[in-house]
Amino acid sequence: EMWLATSRARHGLGQLEAAVHATTEAQRLAKLIRDPGLESSVSAELGSQLRQQGPIDEADVQLAIAVARAEEAGDQTLLPAPL
């Protein structure tokens, strides 16, 4: 969650590449600990950031992952963010 918070702060400061890097690191760690809820949140954040920067295809992949992990976690509250 620290990397996710760092990513959001960097994004807010306009440091878009640094934000994506931090989100990618958060995603790597979320996969390691196998937390589908955290994976969903991180993928939704990464998808949103990528969508703003232009790589729409990769953004769509990340948003689809976010939905899948939210469903896997059984947490309906995670679903609205990537949609």
pLDDT tens digits for 31-63?
999 999 999 999 998 998 888 887 789 889 999
Q: Residue 29 has what pLDDT?
A: 92
Average pLDDT, the chain: 88
Rounded Cα gap, residues 17 and 66, in angstroms: 21
For the four alpha carbons of 72, 75, 35 and 48, in that order, the dihedral sign comes to: positive
**Residue 78: band (very low, low, confident or very high) from pLDDT cuts 50, 70, 90:** confident
Longest dimension (CA), the chain: 33
For residue 81, give the DSSP letter. T
Helix (H, G, I), strand (E, B) or coil at 67: helix
